[in-house]
Amino acid sequence: MINIGRYYEINPETALIRTNHKFVQRFQFVEQQVKESNREWGGTFSLAELDRFWEQAKQFDR
């Protein structure tokens, strides 16, 4: 991975910051969807439901 990053001239610190930012944005989207559903986090959402929210969040990354 290091050599690939060097080949494409990717700054590792910048890449990590951007990746973390993307994760936070996606997670906040999931949190917002849960909030808007008027349901509680604890055990009321299946993994499939949360994954669907995550996939929706990824649509906004582009």
Report the pLDDT value the prediction gives residue 44, as an integer from 0 to 100: 87
Task: Please give the residue range of the domain that contains residue 45.
Answer: 22-62
Report the pLDDT value the prediction gives residue 24, as an integer from 0 to 100: 97
For residue 7, tell me if it sits in a domain: no
pTM: 0.80
Q: Domain tally for the chain?
A: 1
For residue 2, tell me if it sits in a domain: no
For residue 32, tell me if it sits in a domain: yes
Closest CA to 29 of 11, 55, 8: 55
Report the pLDDT value the prediction gives residue 62, as an integer from 0 to 100: 60
Angle between helix 12-37 and helix 47-59 axes, rounded to 10 deg: 120
10-48 pLDDT, tens digit per residue, is 999 999 999 999 999 999 999 999 999 988 777 789 999
For residue 55, tell me if it sits in a domain: yes
